Amino acid sequence: MSTLALSQVSTHYGTSHILFGVSLEVARGEVVCLLGRNGAGKTTTIKTIMGLAHASEGSIIFDGRELRGKAPYDIARMGVGYVPDDRLIFPDLTVRENLEIGKKKGLMADGNDWTVAGIYEMFPKLAELDTHLGGYLSGGEQQMLTVGRTLMGNPSLLLLDEPAEGVAPIVVQELGRQLEKLKHMGLTILLAEQNIDFAMGVSDRAYIIETGRIRYQGSIEEFSEQQEIKEKYLMI
């Protein structure tokens, strides 16, 4: 069963047409990566799902409900978590305060909501930085904090926009391990990424977007053998 389904979605920024009939699906508990070069349409796709960019055509169905036309805060309340590519942590708040400000009661009745302690267990480095101000964290530490803050909202769908961008390789490896844990916990994830190795390491399926159009879709196993596709659309 699909948690998220985009069907023939088109998006404009002013008079600029950015997405052209984008269709993709993410099944419940699945990790799907959206791959593409800079300017291909990855971020616009994520922002369109989140309501931060306006879909002029098509439908965006999340858990059977239409997201198109809804405000970002309503989409967040429905259970969609968003990790932006520019992190947007609060620089004058401590790590703990950044996490607490993102807290929202989960929609499930099991009571297994995320806590600060749970985030610290997943990201031990953040526990060491508990009282540090967000503005003094490294890029990788800020990325962990952004993911943790989003999880504090107890989303059932997590949208990640290039989490590996601009962070050290050791942090990329750590993020990969934590995404694997979230995957095993059953969280549904859509990951927009340029780092192919990172994305393939955590994903079940892949889509490639180029000039605002989906050019390829397939399982990670199938994609790993598509060298011609990689060279054509990803310059690998």
Residue 107: predicted pLDDT = 64
50 C-beta neighbours (distance < 10 Å), count = 20
Encoding tokens for residue 163?
Answer: 């989490």
Give a three-class secondary structure readout of 171-196. Answer: HHHHHHHHHHHHHHCCCEEEEEECCH
> CB within 8 A of 190, min separation 6: which ones?
4, 26, 32, 33, 34, 46, 49, 157, 158, 159, 160
What separation in angstroms does the CA of 76 have from each of 70, 175, 235?
Answer: 10, 23, 35
- The answer to whether 145 touches 83, Cβ cutoff 8 Å, is no
The average pLDDT across 155-176 equals: 93
Q: What type of residue sits at position 193? A: E
Query: What gap in Å lies between CA 236 and CA 114, rounded to an integer?
Result: 38
Encoding tokens for residue 116?
Answer: 């600060």
The average pLDDT across 137-157 equals: 95
3-class state of residue 90 by DSSP = coil
The pTM for the full model equals 0.93
Q: What type of residue sits at position 103? A: K
Range of the domain at 41: 2-234
In this structure, what DSSP letter does residue 136 have? G
Query: What gap in Å lies between CA 203 and CA 136, rounded to an integer?
Result: 32
143 C-beta neighbours (distance < 10 Å), count = 27
The average pLDDT across 195-214 equals: 96
Query: What gap in Å lies between CA 157 and CA 81, rounded to an integer?
Result: 6
Q: For the segment 99-108, what is each residue's pLDDT rounded down to a tens digit?
A: 999 998 876 5
The average pLDDT across 53-82 equals: 97
Residue 59 has pLDDT above 90, yes or no: yes
The average pLDDT across 8-19 equals: 95
Residue 140: predicted pLDDT = 92
Number of structural domains the chain divides into: 1
Residue 112 has pLDDT above 90, yes or no: no
> CB within 8 A of 56, min separation 6: which ones?
10, 11, 12
CATH code, 89: 3.40.50.300
Put the strands of the sheet holding 2-13 in their side by side order. 16-27, 2-13, 55-62, 65-66
